[in-house]
Amino acid sequence: MIQTHSNGGGEGGQTRLTPRPLVDDDAGGAYRFGQHVRHSKFGEGVVLNFEGQGAHARVQVNFAHEGAKWLVVAYANLEVVA
């Protein structure tokens, strides 16, 4: 999720975007938009989207060779690539 903050109207009322954890899995990990991850079957990919929370959370990852896939976080065992 991306949380927005207003600067109170100064500078033309611009809104600043603050990256927030996208989804937390039950093991305490967090995924963010644009984060690079690795899956044992699909290889490396980039987090595109998410939905849900906890054990039912899903992330959409765009894999280099497999395209975009929706994965249940609790079962995907995604590894964050540094």
Spatial distance between the Cα atoms of 43 and 27, rounded to a whole number of angstroms: 21
* Cα–Cα dist 71/59, whole Å: 5
Torsion of CA 27, 53, 62, 21, to 10 degrees: -70
**Assigned CATH for 25-82:** 2.40.10
Confidence of residue 13 (pLDDT cuts 50, 70, 90): low
- Mean pLDDT is lowest, of 25-29, 41-45, 64-68, for 25-29
Residues 48-82 as b/e (b if ≥16 CB within 10 A, e otherwise) read eebeeeeeebbbebebeeeeebebebeebebeeee
Q: Is the pTM above the cut of 0.85?
A: no
Q: Which residue has the higher pLDDT, 29 or 50?
A: 50
Higher per-residue confidence, 20 vs 38: 38
What's the pLDDT score for residue 77?
A: 93
